Amino acid sequence: MKTAQSLTFLAAIILVLSMSGSAMLAAPPETRLMRFPDIWHDQVVFVYAEDLWVASTQGGPARRLTAHPGDELFPKFSPDGKWIAFTGEYDGNSDVFVVPAAGGEPKRLTYHPGNDMVLGWSPDGRILFRSNRASDLPDYTRLFLISPEGGIPEMLSVPRASLVSFAPDGKRIAYNFTSQEFRTWKRYRGGWKSPIAIFDLKKHTYDPLPTTEAMDMFPMWYGNAIYFISDRDGVMNLYRYDLAAKQTSQVTHYTEFDIKWPSLGPDAIIYENGGLLYQYDLKKGETRNVPIYVGSDEVAARPEFMNVGGRIDWFDISPNGVRALFSARGEVFTVPAEHGSPRNLTNSPGVHELHPVWSPDGKWIAYFSDRSGEYEIYIQPQKGGDEVRITSDGAATRYRYNLAWSPDSKKLAYSDKKLRLWYVDTEKKQPVLVDTAEYSTRMPASWSPDSRWLAYAKPVNGSGKDLIFLYSLDQQKVHQVSEGFYDDSSPVFDPDGKYLYFLSDRFFYPVSGANDLRFNYYNTKGIFALTLKADEAAPFGPQNDEEKDVDEKKADEKKAEADKKADGDKKADSDKKTEAKSATEGDKKAEEKKPEVKPVQIDLAGLASRVSEVPVPPGIYARLSARKDKLFFMNAPIEAAELGRPGPHQPVGTLHMYDVKKREDKVLLEGIGGYELDSEGKKLIYGARETIGIIEAAPGKKVGDGKVDTAAM
């Protein structure tokens, strides 16, 4: 009995160990994010982590082909399967390389500074690539062939091309003359949509295939048919066009993820869908998954400590200007302007927080976070603490933009990817839809001082012109302000609630071109003000200096002396009260009473006609802000609109401050890319490439002044 029990126990141990070993030897998980695949009979080549890998079409582990720190992209098998051509950055530029399919040293074939992208091979064994080396402005690509042995590339006669496939005889090509394979948008129906066409390289004839309003891309010529992908059913699927029957049929029927980067092999098409690779058998008409495992050390995915001071992608400033607010690599930080240490508010590896803004009362930081899997709005105490989730509808809104606190620090305005403007009360946590646009915009909104109105701009037709609108939170109603003659944008309330300032394109002074007979228009924007109350005086009415006689001068002097004496008496009385209070309360500070916010009155009737021009010359203006009796705005020189300037791009924006009372325009800072103001407009934070600084809002400043120390982030 004892022996039998021992044998049973031993068998159980062996079984457990066997199962454990089986689990340890189980197939590793299938790798995702494999891109730009190509196929040759039983082999697949693809890109993973910017390196080339080769695997069997039956799946299994992949073999690394390249390991250079630069990018190796767009691999294509040669017709005999012995070579792989690709675009590489071994010497810094994107050039054509070729490497043995079995592995070995890559050989560089092109040496032009233009960007060379490998597209495939010609039937006679030459490498086909596209390049902008022979284009004029605007930039476009042409086709070239080069021998795998090297030499001078041959430019093909087709005037412009992007995605190409040779006919089996090598005399014709099926191609898109332009394409959108790198764009992140979907279901594009605009002017950059080109049909797939057949171009005869000898006769120079052009014959487009039948098309719809959908995007047709990646032609692949196989026998007497051309395969391609199209989103004519909303998702990119594989289609087949029969050249003899002149009929198009759908091959795959994906409903979630688009087919990306399909590539034609001798007997199959390989493509990416949802990060995985699939093979379509051209003879059987069947699709199957290619389950590949990449045994990479995944260096980029390892947790690590990282200094993110040089990776700031967003900045704001505290209401009193003593701390900067940053988002960097998915974390939210506050950093002192001078003394103290940085504070990581979110400290959440694996969660992406971005676009933080500081509440006007200084208590809260609001930001977007994908902690739930979708971007939602959260707030957190500015000194750290538990975050509070404000929204829960991220699955419906997707991406959100332009967070803006209301002056009472109780509400947040924002827009979303579906062209909608919202606001949400941080206590009620129920988003309220303000407006929806029909044309592309992100609708940044400006709050009125009493937090009861929102001003914003949106396009109402395809012309691209923006119109200004007002939304009343009390009435829950939208009111159009602009009359529609001009492009009006960037509305902002002044702190007293008397005026609505905005930018508008109303100046059209033509500049003749140096090399052609046409006019260009540059300095078209001006700054304008709408008087919100019908009986309020316009901010920039006519001025008239008058000479005063002796009696009038004496009266003015007496009034000035009386005012000065009254101010002195008030100060003395205030000092006495302060001393008395200090004596009774010791060191306890008196609670400051917040000034009462008056309701903003807006007389909507005739509002558009109560417009005044701010007396500044027209310019290329942006980033308009308003503070007490001050306007802040950025102007860009004409050089900022020039394309193709050599050297690294440098910020060229100039920050201006306009004194409304004195009617004086002064330059505060030059050579910056953006800025934000504190609550009173006394301090500002600016960004100029890697330099971020906090300075007084006064003339005579330069980039580098008040630089914020981000080294400890």
Residue 582 has pLDDT above 80, yes or no: no
Helix-, strand-, coil-residue percentages of the chain, each rounded to 5: 10, 40, 50
Of residues 390 and 140, which shows the higher confidence score?
Answer: 390
Distance CA 158, CA 140 (A): 12
**pLDDT value at residue 11:** 44
Domain that holds residue 182: 157-258
Is 419 among the domain residues? Answer: yes
Is 406 among the domain residues? Answer: yes
Q: In this structure, are strands 674-677 and 411-416 parallel, antiparallel, or unpaired?
A: unpaired
User: The domain that contains 99 carries what CATH number?
Assistant: 2.120.10.30
Q: Which CA distances in Å does 631 have to 81, 493, 667?
A: 67, 11, 12
Q: In this structure, are strands 43-48 and 35-40 parallel, antiparallel, or unpaired?
A: antiparallel
Strands (E), 25-124: 35-40, 43-48, 51-56, 60-61, 63-64, 72-77, 83-88, 95-100, 107-108, 116-121
**pLDDT value at residue 127:** 98
In a shared domain, residues 336 and 223: no
Amino acid at 429: K
**pLDDT value at residue 445:** 97
b/e for 619-645, b at 16 or more Cβ within 10 A?
Answer: bbbebbbbbeebbbbbbbeeeeeeeee
Is 109 among the domain residues? Answer: yes
In a shared domain, residues 606 and 666: no
Distance CA 321, CA 308 (A): 22
**pLDDT value at residue 560:** 64
In a shared domain, residues 242 and 103: no
**pLDDT value at residue 449:** 97
In a shared domain, residues 606 and 660: no
Is 329 among the domain residues? Answer: yes
Digit-coded pLDDT (tens) for 107-160: 999 999 989 999 999 999 999 999 999 987 667 899 999 999 999 999 999 999
Provide mean pLDDT across the span 203-218: 95
Residue 541 has pLDDT above 80, yes or no: no
Distance CA 157, CA 566 (A): 88
Q: Is 230 helix (H, G, I), strand (E, B) or coil?
A: strand
What separation, in Å, do the N-terminal and C-terminal C-alpha atoms of the chain show? 70
User: The domain that contains 392 carries what CATH number?
Assistant: 2.130.10.10
**pLDDT value at residue 567:** 59
**pLDDT value at residue 432:** 97
Distance CA 117, CA 131 (A): 6
Q: Which of 619, 649, 677 is the last residue of a domain?
A: 619
Residue 366 has pLDDT above 70, yes or no: yes
**pLDDT value at residue 555:** 66
Q: How many domains would you assign to the chain?
A: 4
Is 536 among the domain residues? Answer: yes
User: The domain that contains 193 carries what CATH number?
Assistant: 2.120.10.60
Dmax over CA atoms of the chain, in Å, equals: 131
Q: pLDDT averaged over the chain?
A: 89
Is 608 among the domain residues? Answer: yes
Q: Which CA distances in Å does 457 have to 166, 276, 423, 444?
A: 49, 42, 15, 8
Residue 702 has pLDDT above 70, yes or no: yes
Band of residue 93 on the pLDDT scale cut at 50, 70, 90: very high
Choose from 391-400, 450-459, 462-471 the range with maximum mean pLDDT. Answer: 450-459
In a shared domain, residues 615 and 638: no
In a shared domain, residues 228 and 124: no
Provide mean pLDDT across the span 571-591: 43
Q: In this structure, are strands 487-493 and 477-480 parallel, antiparallel, or unpaired?
A: unpaired
Residue 408 neighbours by CB distance under 10 Å: 15
Digit-coded pLDDT (tens) for 549-575: 676 666 666 766 766 665 565 555 555
Residue 444 has pLDDT above 80, yes or no: yes
In a shared domain, residues 282 and 332: no
Is 104 among the domain residues? Answer: yes
Is 140 among the domain residues? Answer: no
Q: Which of 619, 648, 681 is the last residue of a domain?
A: 619
Digit-coded pLDDT (tens) for 15-62: 444 444 444 445 678 899 999 999 999 999 999 999 999 999 999 999
Structure tokens at 646: 């050599």
Q: Is 56 helix (H, G, I), strand (E, B) or coil?
A: strand
**pLDDT value at residue 485:** 92
In a shared domain, residues 461 and 331: yes
Digit-coded pLDDT (tens) for 503-537: 999 999 888 877 777 888 888 999 999 999 999 99
**pLDDT value at residue 15:** 42
Q: Which CA distances in Å does 294 have to 28, 84, 265, 477?
A: 9, 19, 22, 56
In a shared domain, residues 692 and 703: yes
The residue count for the chain: 713
In a shared domain, residues 485 and 613: yes
- Tokens 């947790």 belong to 303
In a shared domain, residues 176 and 57: no
What letter does residue 533 receive in the DSSP assignment? S
Of residues 709 and 138, which shows the higher confidence score?
Answer: 709
Distance CA 502, CA 492 (A): 6
* Global pTM value: 0.75
In a shared domain, residues 209 and 358: no
